[in-house]
C-alpha cells in the first residue's frame, strides 16, 4: 500500500526515528501505526544487540536530591556529539526523576520502571535504535545524610554527592558545595582512614616496605617506615584529612568544624565519565 508523506511525518513525530526508517516501518506494517512503532522498537533492539560490545565513554552525570537523600547516575553513549544533545540530557534527567520518585535502590530497579507506555530499559533500547549508538546507565549511587549537597562539573561528565551530619540547623549548602568540589578535584578514596579498604591498606604497607628496602633501610625498620608512609597516604587520600584546596592551612575536617561545630561528612559518591 502507498504510504503518504504525512503518515511518515506523523510516525516520525511520534517516535523521533528517521524519515526512511519510519517509511519502511509503515510499509512493513501496512499503515498500522502501532505495528510500525513495534517494528521501530524491534529495530532498536537489533541495533542495541549489534552494538553491545561498543564502549560508552561519553555521556552525562545527573543528580537529584530530596530531603536527606540524593541519587547520582550516569547515562553514557559512544560519542560526545550525542552526549551534548539536549534530548539526551533531558532523557538522563527524566530517568533520574523516575528513580528518585520511585525510591529505587539499584540500576536493575530503574530499568524496570514504567516510562511512558514501556519500561526505562525498553526506552533505552528505543533510543539506541533512534540514534544508532549504544546507551547505558553506567553508574547509579545513593547517599543519605542530614543534608545532601550535589555538584556537577561544567562539562557534565563529573558529578559528586556529599552527605553531611551534625548540621545543627545551619545553612551548609556553600560548605557542602566546597567539599563536593574538593572531592571532584582530589578524588579521595574514602571519608576517613576507617573507610579505606583493607586490601588498599595492605598494598600501601607492602609498597612502603619495598620502597624502604630499595633505599637500603634495615629490615627491622621497614614496618615502622611503611606505617609512616601509610599515615601520609591517609592524609593525602582520605577526604577529612586532605588539605582544603581553597585554604591549605586547614584540613577538610577543620574547615567543616569552622562552619558549624561538629559538622562532618558521613558519605560521598563521585562519578566520572571517560
**pLDDT tens per residue, range 155-190:** 999 999 999 999 999 999 999 999 999 999 999 999
* Model confidence at 1: pLDDT above 90: no
Gap between the Cα atoms of 188 and 197, Å rounded: 12
143-148's contacts with Cβ under 8 Å and 24+ in sequence apart are 143/69, 143/70, 143/72, 143/267, 143/268, 143/269, 144/68, 144/69, 144/70, 144/267, 145/68, 145/266, 145/267, 146/68, 147/68, 147/172, 147/173, 147/176, 148/65, 148/68, 148/69, 148/70, 148/176
pLDDT for the residue 16: 81
> Do 139 and 56 share a structural domain?
yes
> Do 140 and 57 share a structural domain?
yes
Query: What values do phi and psi take at 76, rounded to 5?
Result: -115, 160
Predicted confidence band of residue 12 (pLDDT cuts 50, 70, 90): confident
Domain boundary among 144, 167, 198: 144
* Model confidence at 230: pLDDT above 80: yes
Q: Is residue 213 part of a domain?
A: no
Domains: count for the chain: 2
Q: Is residue 241 part of a domain?
A: no
What's the average model confidence in pLDDT over 2-30?
90
Return the CATH number at 115: 3.30.479.20
> Do 65 and 36 share a structural domain?
no
Return the CATH number at 31: 1.10.8.10
**pLDDT tens per residue, range 33-76:** 999 988 988 888 888 888 888 899 999 999 999 999 999 999 99
* Model confidence at 222: pLDDT above 80: yes
Give the residue with greater pLDDT, 40 vs 141: 141
> Do 76 and 113 share a structural domain?
yes
> Do 120 and 81 share a structural domain?
yes
Is residue 172 within 8 Å of residue 193, measured between CB atoms?
no
> Do 57 and 43 share a structural domain?
no
Q: Is residue 210 part of a domain?
A: no
> Do 140 and 58 share a structural domain?
yes
Angle (CA) 268 271 274, round 5°: 160
Q: Is residue 101 part of a domain?
A: yes
> Do 120 and 103 share a structural domain?
yes
pLDDT for the residue 208: 94
Q: Is residue 209 part of a domain?
A: no
Question: Looking up cell 556529599, which residue turns up?
Answer: 162
Q: Is residue 254 part of a domain?
A: no
> Do 123 and 60 share a structural domain?
yes
> Do 86 and 67 share a structural domain?
yes
Question: Looking up cell 560519542, which residue turns up?
Answer: 79
> Do 66 and 37 share a structural domain?
no
Is residue 175 within 8 Å of residue 259, measured between CB atoms?
yes
What's the average model confidence in pLDDT over 199-211?
95
Domain boundary among 86, 119, 144: 144
> Do 69 and 23 share a structural domain?
no
Percent above pLDDT 70 for the chain: 100
Mean pLDDT over the full length of the chain: 95
Q: Is residue 194 part of a domain?
A: no
Give the residue with greater pLDDT, 48 vs 199: 199
Full residue range of the structural domain in which residue 45 is found: 5-50
pLDDT for the residue 48: 84
Q: What is the CA radius of gyration of the chain?
A: 25
Q: Is residue 132 part of a domain?
A: yes
pLDDT for the residue 122: 94
Predicted confidence band of residue 130 (pLDDT cuts 50, 70, 90): confident
Give the residue with greater pLDDT, 254 vs 17: 254
Domain boundary among 116, 144, 172: 144
Amino acid at each position: 500500500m502507498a504510504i503518504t508523506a504525512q503518515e511518515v511525518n506523523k510516525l516520525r513525530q511520534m517516535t523521533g526515528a528517521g524519515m526512511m526508517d519510519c517509511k519502511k516501518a509503515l510499509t512493513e506494517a501496512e499503515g498500522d501505526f502501532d505495528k510500525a512503532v513495534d517494528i521501530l522498537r524491534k529495530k532498536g533492539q537489533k541495533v542495541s544487540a549489534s552494538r553491545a560490545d561498543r564502549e560508552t565513554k561519553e555521556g552525562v552525570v545527573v543528580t537529584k536530591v530530596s530531603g536527606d537523600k540524593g541519587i547520582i547516575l550516569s547515562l553514557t553513549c559512544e560519542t560526545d556529539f550525542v552526549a551534548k544533545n539536549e534530548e539526551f540530557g533531558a532523557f538522563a534527567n527524566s530517568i533520574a526523576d523516575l528513580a528518585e520518585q520511585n525510591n529505587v535502590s539499584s540500576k536493575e530497579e530503574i530499568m524496570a520502571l514504567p516510562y511512558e507506555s514501556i519500561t526505562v530499559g525498553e526506552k533505552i533500547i528505543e533510543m539506541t535504535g533512534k540514534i544508532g549508538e549504544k546507551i547505558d546507565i553506567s553508574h547509579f549511587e545513593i547517599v543519605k545524610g542530614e543534608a545532601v549537597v550535589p555538584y556537577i562539573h561544567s562539562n557534565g561528565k563529573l558529578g559528586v554527592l556529599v552527605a553531611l551530619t551534625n548540621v545543627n540547623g545551619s545553612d551548609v549548602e556553600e560548605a557542602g558545595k566546597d567539599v563536593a568540589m574538593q572531592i571532584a578535584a582530589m578524588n579521595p578514596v574514602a571519608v576517613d582512614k576507617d573507610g579505606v579498604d583493607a586490601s588498599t591498606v595492605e598494598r600501601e604497607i607492602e609498597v612502603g616496605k619495598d620502597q624502604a628496602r630499595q633505599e637500603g633501610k634495615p629490615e627491622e625498620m621497614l614496618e615502622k617506615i611503611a606505617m609512616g608512609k601509610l599515615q601520609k597516604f591517609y592524609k593525602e587520600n582520605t577526604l577529612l584529612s586532605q588539605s582544603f584546596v581553597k585554604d591549605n592551612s586547614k584540613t577538610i575536617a577543620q574547615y567543616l568544624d569552622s562552619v558549624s561545630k561538629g559538622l562532618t561528612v558521613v558519605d560521598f559518591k563521585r562519578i566520572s565519565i571517560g
